[in-house]
Amino acid sequence: MQETTFLYTYDLNMTMTLGLAVILLCIGHFIKKIFPILTKYFIPSPVLGGIIFSIVTFIGHQTHTFNFTYDEQLKNLLMIAFFTTIGFTASFRMLISGGLGVALFLFCSIILIVIQNGIGVGIAELFGESPLLGMAAGSIPLTGGHGTSAAFGPELQRYGLDAGLTVSIAAATFGLVAGSIIGGPVGERLIAKFHCHNADNSVSNRDMVEGVLTQEEKTMSESQLMAGCAYIIISMVLGSFIITGLKNIGVILPAYIGPMIIASIIRNYFDMKGKHIPIRTINVIGSLSLQYFLAMALMTMRLWELIDLAIPLFTILIVQTIVMALFAYFVTFRIMGKDYDAAVICVGQCGFGMGATPNAMANMSTFTGGNGPSPKAFFVVPMVGALFIDFVNAFIITMFLQFFG
C-alpha cells in the first residue's frame, strides 16, 4: 500500500497538542451557546470542537494538502487519570445503601452491556467485518459514551481495528441523539398499557436530586485539591505495577484497569473505616481530565476510515436503538417492579444505555414534567450511572476484547 504524501505536514509537540485541545474545547463551548439544540442533547463541547477539526483534517487528507501529527503522551496520561477517578466512585457501601432498586437497575444495565456487545459482534460478522467493529458500536460508545469511546478506541486499534477510535466516537454521537428520542415514547407506551400513574407527589424530583447532591462538598480548598491529586497519582502508580506484573505473566490489560482497581480499594477501605476522602475534588479533577482527553482524542480522528464502514455501522446502530427500546420495555420495566417508577426508570435507561447519565436525567425530567415526579427513579438512575456503570462496563469490555481480539 502506497504511503500518502502531503504538501504540508505539521508535527505538534506535547505543548502544541494541549494548546490545540484547549482552543477546540473553547470553540465547542461557543458553538453550544449559538445552537441550544446541542445543549438539549448534551453533546459535549470537546466533541463539537474535535469533530470540526477532524473535518478540517479530513479535507486535508483527501486533497493531499496537509496533515497533522501529535504527541499523545499527555492524552494517555489524562485518560488514565480519568478512569482512576472512576475507580474512586465504586463504593460498595453506596451500592448497599442504595437499596434493592439500585442493585436491580445495575443488574439490568449489566445485562444490557452484554447484549449490546453481542449484537454488535453478531451483525459485524454477518457483514463479514471484524467483531471488533461490533465492539466499537456496542457498549463502548452506547453505555460508555464518548469518554469510554475515546479510551477504548486506541485499544481497538491495537487489536487490529484501524478505525476503532473514529467508529466509536461516531457511534457515541449517534447514541446521544437516539437515546434522547426513544425514551419518551417508551415511557408513554408503558404507562398507557399498564395504567401505572404517579401516586405520590409529596417529594419532588428536584428535592431528591438535591438530597443526593448535598452529600458532595460545595467548595474546594487547596488542601483538598492537593489531597485529591495525591490519591489519584498514588493509585496510578500502584496500578501501573499491577499492569506490569500481569504483563510479565502474559496477561495484557489496558493501562487504566490497574489504577481503577487500586482507586476502588482505597475508596472502599476509607468507607469501611468511616474516614473521609475528597471525592468531590477527585470528581472535578476527573471531569477536567475527561474534557481535555476528549478534545485530544477527537481532534485526532481519521474520518476517512468511516467511508467503507458506513453501511454495517449504521445497520448495527439502528438495531441497537430498537433493542434498547425493547429491552427497557420488556425487561427493565418488569425487573424494576412494573409500576410508575419503573416506567420512569425505563425512560432514563434509554438515554443512559444509548448515551450518558445527563441524557437519562433530561429524559426523565421531560417525562415526569407531564406525568408527575418519581423520586425513586431520580435516585436509582444517577446512582448507577455516576458510581458503578463505567467501572463495570470497562471490565466487561476488556473481557470481550480478550476473547475477540
Do residues 144 and 116 lie in contact, with contact meaning Cβ atoms separated by under 8 Å? no
Q: What is the pLDDT of residue 209?
A: 44
Q: 8-11 and 66-69 as β-strands: parallel, antiparallel, unpaired?
A: parallel
The answer to whether residues 346 and 186 touch, using CB atoms and an 8 Å cutoff, is yes
Q: pTM, whole model, 2 decimals? A: 0.77
The answer to whether 338 touches 194, Cβ cutoff 8 Å, is: yes
CA 307 from centre of chain: 25
pLDDT at 311: 93
Q: Under a CB-based contact definition with an 8 Å cutoff, are residues 104 and 384 in contact?
A: no
- What pLDDT does residue 405 have? 64
C-alpha cell at 192: 398507557
- Where are the chain's structural domains? 8-198+289-404
Which helix or strand (DSSP H or E) is residue 11 part of? Answer: strand 8-11
Instruction: Give DSSP secondary structure letters for 152-199.
Output: HHHHHHHHT-TTHHHHHHHHHHHHHHHHHHHHHHHHHHHHHHH-----
Per residue of the chain (405 residues), give pLDDT as tens. 456 688 888 999 999 999 999 999 999 999 989 988 887 766 778 888 988 998 999 999 889 999 999 998 898 899 899 889 888 888 888 778 778 899 999 999 999 999 999 999 999 999 999 999 999 999 999 999 888 898 888 889 888 998 898 899 899 989 988 888 899 899 999 998 998 876 555 444 444 444 444 344 556 778 889 999 999 999 999 999 998 998 888 766 778 888 988 999 999 999 898 888 888 899 889 889 988 988 888 888 888 888 888 899 999 999 999 999 999 999 999 999 999 999 999 999 998 899 777 778 888 888 888 788 888 888 888 888 877 888 899 889 988 988 876
Beta-strand (E) ranges in 46-93?
66-69
C-alpha cell at 56: 478540517
Q: What is the CA radius of gyration of the chain?
A: 21
Three-state secondary structure call for residue 276: coil
The residue written with cell numbers 420512569 in the block is: 344
Instruction: Please give the single-letter amino acid code of residue 93.
Output: R
Q: Which helix (H) or strand (E) holds 73?
A: helix 73-87
Position 145: which residue type? G
What does the buried/exposed string (b/e) look like for 334-349 if buried means 16 or more CB atoms within 10 Å of the residue's CB? eebbebbbbbbbbbbb
> Alpha-carbon distance 176 to 356, whole Å?
7
Which pLDDT score is estimated for 252? 65
- What's the gap between Cα 211 and its chain centre? 24
What residues contact residue 135 under an 8 Å CB cut-off, 6+ apart? Answer: 117, 120, 121, 152, 156, 161, 397, 400, 401, 404
Question: Which residue in 353, 350, 311, 310 sits closest to 142, CA to CA?
Answer: 353
